[in-house]
Amino acid sequence: MDEKLRREVTPEEAVDSIEDAVGTYPGQRRAHTKGIAFDAIFQPNGAASHLTTAKHLQEEMVEAVVRFSHFWPTPNPHELLVPIKGMAVRFLLPGNAFTNLSMANVPVFLTKTPEAFVRLVQVMAKEPLSITEKLEVLIKKPEFATIPKLLRSLTPPASFATETYHALHSFYLVSQDGTRQAVRFSWVPLEPLDAKHSYGSRADLESELIKRMEAGTPVRFRLLIQLALPEDPIDDPSSMWPADRQTIEIGVLTLHSVREDGAESLVFDPTVLTEGIECSDDPVLHFRSPVYNISAARRSRHM
C-alpha cells in the first residue's frame, strides 16, 4: 500500500491525487468541473416543520441556485463513459445566509472512507489499464465492493431533468424541542409524462436542458426525506437503508432561468448547514469540507 495511505489521508493529499490522476486546469473545479447553473425557487410544504426548525423547510418560498454537473474532473469529460451526474443546490436564506444540498444520481457514495476514495482515484488513473481491467481490479478489493455493481446499473442520462439525485450522506433534522431524526435527502423529478423524452443529444446535456426549458417544459424536482430507524447505518455513506423506511415529500424546486456566471464562484460544501439541520458523524461527509475549500483556493489562484 502507498505509504501515504498507511495513515489517515489528508485533504491536501486527496486533492493532489485528483490532480495527479487527471491533471490541473487553470481556474477550474477539481471535481464536477463541467456543468450548468440556474436560478430557482423552492417551495416547502411544511411537512418537515415538526422535525426541524430550518427556515427553508417550513412553508415560505425561498430562492435557490442549482448547478448540474458531470462527475469527471476535467472541463471536457467523456460524458457517456461516466454517467454519474451531480446536482448541487444552494438555498438562499434571510440575512444573506445560505445552506447547501449536494447530490448525485447514485444512491450511495462510492466508498466508506476518504482513504478508500483516494485509492479508488489512484486505481482509475492507473495506466495503461483499460476501463475493463480497472473494474477487474476493483472487484478484487472488498473496500470497492459496491462500485462495479453500481456502475453496471447506470446508463447515460437522457437529461439532467429526468434523473433522481441523492445526498449520499445522512443528516439530522433537529426539532424545536431538540429531538434529532436521522434522514437522507433526495431530489425526484416532477414532470408531465410527455417530458420523459430527450430534447437533444445525451452528449450535450447542458444544451438539452436549455432546449427543454425553451420549449416550455417545466423542470421541477420534489425534495424527499427518508427517515432512519435506530438500526440503520447513519455514518456509512456506502450503505443503503431499507426501501421500506418512511419517506416524506417536503417541497418542490422549480428552475426558472440560466445563470450566465454558471455559479462558478460558489462552493457547494455539503457541510454548510443552517439551524435545524446537523451533520452526521460520516467521515466522508466531514472530509469533503476541507477538500472543497482546498480545491476552491487552488482554483482562485488559477493553478
Active site residues: 32
- Contact criterion met (CB below 8 Å) for 215 and 256: no
User: Could you report how far apart the first and last alpha carbons of the chain are, in Å?
Assistant: 29
Q: β-strands 277-279, 171-174: how paired?
A: antiparallel
Inter-residue contact 72 to 53 (CB < 8 Å): no
- The whole-angstrom separation of Cα 66 and Cα 88 is 6
For the stretch 57-63, contacts whose Cβ atoms lie closer than 8 Å and that sit 24 or more positions apart, written own/partner, are: 57/173, 57/250, 57/251, 57/276, 62/91, 62/92, 62/93, 63/39, 63/91, 63/92
Cα–Cα distance, 273 to 225 (Å, whole number) = 16
What is the Cβ-side half-sphere exposure of residue 229, based on CA atoms within 13 angstroms?
8
Place of cell 418512511: 246
**Segment holding 138, helix H or strand E:** helix 131-139
Other C-beta atoms closer than 10 Å to the C-beta of 59 total 11
